Each structure stands twice: as C-alpha cells, then as structure tokens.
Amino acid sequence: MKIFWQRFRARLWEIAGGVNIRTKILGIVLGGTILLSLTLIIQVRYSLTRVLEDELRLQGVSIGRDLAARSTDIILINDHYALRQLLMETKANNQAVRYAFVVDPKQKILAHTFGDGFPEGLIELNQVDGDDYQNTISIETSEGLIWDIAVPIFNGQAGTTRVGISSQGLEGILLDITSQVLLATTIVLALSLLAATFLTFILTRPILDLVNAARAIGRGDFSQRVRRYASDEIGELADAFNQMVVTLEKADEVRRDRENLRSQLLKGVITAQEEERGRIARELHDSTSQGLTSLMVGLRGLDATCDNPQVHIHAQELRQIAGQLLDDVHSLAVQLRPPVLDDLGLQAALERLANEWGIHHHILVDVMVHLGSERLPGTIEIALYRMLQEALTNVSRHAQASSVSILVEGRQQAIVAVVEDDGQGFDAEQIHRDGRLGLIGIRERADILGGRVMIESAQGRGTSLFIWIPLAEKVNVITQGAEVVE
C-alpha cells in the first residue's frame, strides 16, 4: 500500500509538473476564486436560511398571539361567523400564512380557513397547555415545510389558536439572493480571469525570454541578452543571467583559442612525425639498405675468394644475418612510410597492411574499401591509414581475437571506417578513464580532421571501433569523441 501511494504521488507530481506555468497560475487564481465563491454562496445561504426561518417563526408567533387576543371576545359571545372572518382576514393579509383555525378547550373546531374540508389528524399534531407561551412544530407537506404554531387563548380557557406558516416564500427569497450572489461571483470570476491573464503575461514573458535565450546559448549563440522588464526578483534574475552570458562568452572565446592552438599543435606534431617518418624511411632505404647490400656483396666476395673453411662458414653466417637485417630494415621503412600509399592510394595500402599483419599475427583479416574512383586528400589518407594501423596494433596486443573485419566507405560527404573483432572485449568507460595511448592517438588524428571516434564493447562480446571523418574543410575544428558500452 505504501508503494502504491508513493507511485501515485510520483505520478501526480509528474502530471502537475508537466503543466506550463501560465496554466498553473490561471488554475490557482480561478480555482481559488471559484472555491471562495462556492464557500461564500454556501455560507450566505446557510446563514440567511437560519435568519429567515427564525424571522418567519417569530412572525408566525406574532400572528398567532394577535389572533388569540382578537378572538377572545368573539369566542366569549360565541360568534363563529365573526371568528371565521377574522381568520380569513388574517390569512389574506399575511402571504406566509397557509392556514389558521381555532379550537375550544375540548379540541373542537370553532372556525378555520380550509375551504375544502379540515385535514384529518392536524389537530392532534400540535397541542399546547394553558401555561405555555406557544408551541411550534414543523410539518413536511407536498407544498414544502410548514411551521405549525399553537397559541393558547386566555391561558387555554377559551381554546387555542393554530397558525400554519409556509416556507415557500422563504425559498423564493433564498433563490433570489443566491442568484444575485452567483451573478456577483460570475463578474468577480471574469475580472479574476482578466487579472490572472495579465498577471501570467507579466510573470511568464520574462521567464519565456530566459528559456529562449538559454536554448540559444546552449546552441552556442552567446549574443543573446534578456530584457529587464521590472525591478523585481525576475529583473534581478535577468541581470544575473546576462552577466553569466558575458562570462560564458569570454570563457568560450578562451576555450576556442585553446582548442585552435591545441589543434594547430597536434597538427604540427603529427605533420612533423610523418615528415620524420618519411625521412627515416628514406634514410633506411637509401643509406642503411644500400650499406647492408654492400656488406652482403662483400661477404659473398670474401666467401668466394677465401679457401679457409672456417672463414667460409663465418662468411655465410654473416651473410644470413645481413640478409635478415636488410629484410627488417625494409619492413620498418615500409611501416614508417608505405610507398604504396603514395603510389596507389589508401585501398591498396590497407589491403597490403591487412595481409602482412594477418600473416604476422596469424589472424584472419577481411578488408572492404568503397571510396570510388577519386583519391582522397593526402591528409585524410595518411590519417586513416595511421588510425587503422593503430587499431590493428591494439587488436594484436589486447583483443585475443581470431578474426578482424575492416570497412572503409564514403557516406554523404564523409568517410566512415569500422574495425570489428571477435576478441574478449573490454569496459569502454574504464578504457576512456585510463586514457590508453593507442586510442588517444586515434582520437587526436580524428579531432584534427573534425571527425569523431566511437567505441562499442563489452566483456566477452568483441569490440567495434567507428571512425567518422568529414570531407569538408574542418581541419581546425575539434569534435569530442564518445564511448558507448553495451
């Protein structure tokens, strides 16, 4: 039961919180006005009913006493006609009087105002002793409530006067007063509605301006300023908001300057790295490879001219070592700056990289490249090559995978690269916090090109690396990468 009420309150609060502030203010004003009006109508009607009922009963008592006083002499002279005329005159002069009659001490009817016969059992309903001032009872009839008032005549020695006072007139008065109160309430409600509408306009207009300005600032537009409508708390909030925008604008300028500087530094570092790699690759190819080749030629000549078996054996061993060094130097030069990337483009370079990497690490690699007939800009080709090279390095070091697939294709003015493996996976959030160097290098290269990097991985479910690089000129734009963990 407790959980039910907690959920009910939470749901109720959710519904109330979803209503806009204008509706809330109008609802509060109108609800308060209607509640006050209904309370006022009920209270006024209740109070008036009690007052008018008391007045009506007092009027009935007064009429009954007057009849008792005026009928004493008539009863003593036994003039029944005059007595009936007195009763009819009293009924005619008082609209509230429904009936009137006089009985003797033995409860015998002397005169009455009923034209169609006296109601049966009415005499027994209300009787009064001679010592009583009067006695009043209420009778429910088809015509409404009637107060029956009995007043003794000459202390009951001459009989009793009975007067019936109807409440129909009272209901009419109450209905008229209630209608007037309802009319006044309707007028007040209309005025309250106008006042509430004006109040909500005054209160919500600056708030809506704040909301619109905050949304624009969230989109990066720091030129927004909020007008100060009044010198109240909302006006002070507008001033504080504008000051905050100025501070955010300055901070954003500093951040952009830092990001641009960082982008330029990263671009310079990576450019310098590529140039240095190219220079080292050329040095290895032109100098070191030629030196090793000359050494092998010399060892071959030494082997051919020397008759010493011992020297012959050492020369062959040195030739094998030199040949292995030459292969290693050639492989290192290709890794530093693959000539196929400059000569044939990204697709041929990636296919060769995947083939050599798969043979070396004994992992099945599937490569699909869909880039069209035109080559990509050189900066994008070398950046994608290095990022995919680093991704394969991470797979060989950490994934323990048996197969890897690489997809590179052009999509709507952008290049998308996807590297998927069936390895052991990892916690992407943890890797992001640890800042693994391989992923940092991939992100930095993507940032320089205005791209994004996203990783999806989970323990035992492999890893997917997504790289998005725009083809437009966004070299100096830094876009924050994101990690998603399934």
Phi first, then psi: give them for residue 93, nearest 5 degrees. -85, -10
Q: CATH second-level architecture of 21-175?
A: 2-Layer Sandwich (3.30)
Question: What is the CATH code for 345-485?
Answer: 3.30.565.10
Predicted pLDDT at 382: 84
Predicted pLDDT at 43: 86
pLDDT at 138 over 90: no
Predicted pLDDT at 18: 62
**pLDDT-based confidence at 444, cuts 50/70/90?**
confident
Query: pLDDT tens digits, residue range 155-178?
Result: 888 888 999 988 877 777 878 888
The residues with which 423 forms a beta bridge, in sequence order, are: none
Predicted pLDDT at 420: 92
Question: From CA 40, how far away is CA 80, in angstroms rounded?
Answer: 51
Enumerate the H helices of 219-337 as residue ranges.
233-283, 289-305, 309-336
Percent of the chain with pLDDT over 70: 89
pLDDT at 189 over 50: yes
Query: pLDDT tens digits, residue range 78-105?
Result: 888 898 899 899 988 888 888 999 988 8
Q: Are 386 and 438 in contact (CB under 8 A)?
A: no
The CB density around residue 63, as the number of other CB atoms within 10 Å, is 22
Lowest mean pLDDT among 129-133, 218-222, 393-397: 129-133
Q: Mean per-residue pLDDT for 351-364?
A: 88
Name the residue ranges covered by the structural domains of the chain.
21-175, 345-485
Predicted pLDDT at 437: 52
Predicted pLDDT at 19: 67
Percent of the chain with pLDDT over 90: 7
pLDDT at 434 over 60: no
**pLDDT-based confidence at 328, cuts 50/70/90?**
confident
**pLDDT-based confidence at 436, cuts 50/70/90?**
low
pLDDT at 279 over 80: no
Higher pLDDT, 266 or 10: 10
Give the three-state DSSP class for 186.
helix
Give the three-state DSSP class for 414.
strand
R_g (Cα) of the chain, nearest Å: 53
pLDDT at 478 over 60: no
pLDDT at 480 over 80: no
The set of residues, in sequence order, having a beta carbon less than 8 Å from that of 476 and lying 6+ positions away, is 260, 263, 264
pLDDT at 449 over 50: yes
Please state, rounded to an integer, the average pLDDT across all residues of the chain.
81
Question: From CA 128, how far away is CA 360, in angstroms rounded?
Answer: 126
Give the three-state DSSP class for 219.
coil
Give the three-state DSSP class for 180.
helix
Helix (H) and strand (E) counts for the chain?
Answer: 13, 11
Higher pLDDT, 310 or 146: 146
Predicted pLDDT at 416: 92
Phi first, then psi: give them for residue 406, nearest 5 degrees. -125, 130
Question: From CA 136, how far away is CA 54, in angstroms rounded?
Answer: 12
Pick the closest to residue 467 from 374, 386, 397 (CA basis).
386
pLDDT at 311 over 80: no
Question: From CA 153, how far away is CA 74, in angstroms rounded?
Answer: 11
pLDDT at 432 over 90: no
Lowest mean pLDDT among 142-146, 178-182, 372-376, 474-478: 474-478
Residue in this structure with the two tokens 């570092």, named with its chain if needed: 269
Q: Are 258 and 299 in contact (CB under 8 A)?
A: no
Q: Are 164 and 96 in contact (CB under 8 A)?
A: no
Q: What is the dihedral of CA 359, 431, 384, 260, to 10 degrees?
A: -160
Predicted pLDDT at 417: 93
Predicted pLDDT at 438: 66
- End-to-end CA gap in the chain: 36
Q: 366-403: buried (b, 16+ CB within 10 Å) or exposed (e) per residue?
A: ebebebeeeebeebbbbbbbbbbbbbbebbbebbebee
Query: pLDDT tens digits, residue range 212-230?
Result: 888 888 888 888 888 887 7
Give the three-state DSSP class for 397.
helix
Predicted pLDDT at 443: 86
Q: Mean per-residue pLDDT for 382-393?
A: 87
Q: Identify the DSSP state of 362.
A: T
Predicted pLDDT at 479: 34
Four-residue CA torsion sign, 472, 476, 480, 483 = positive
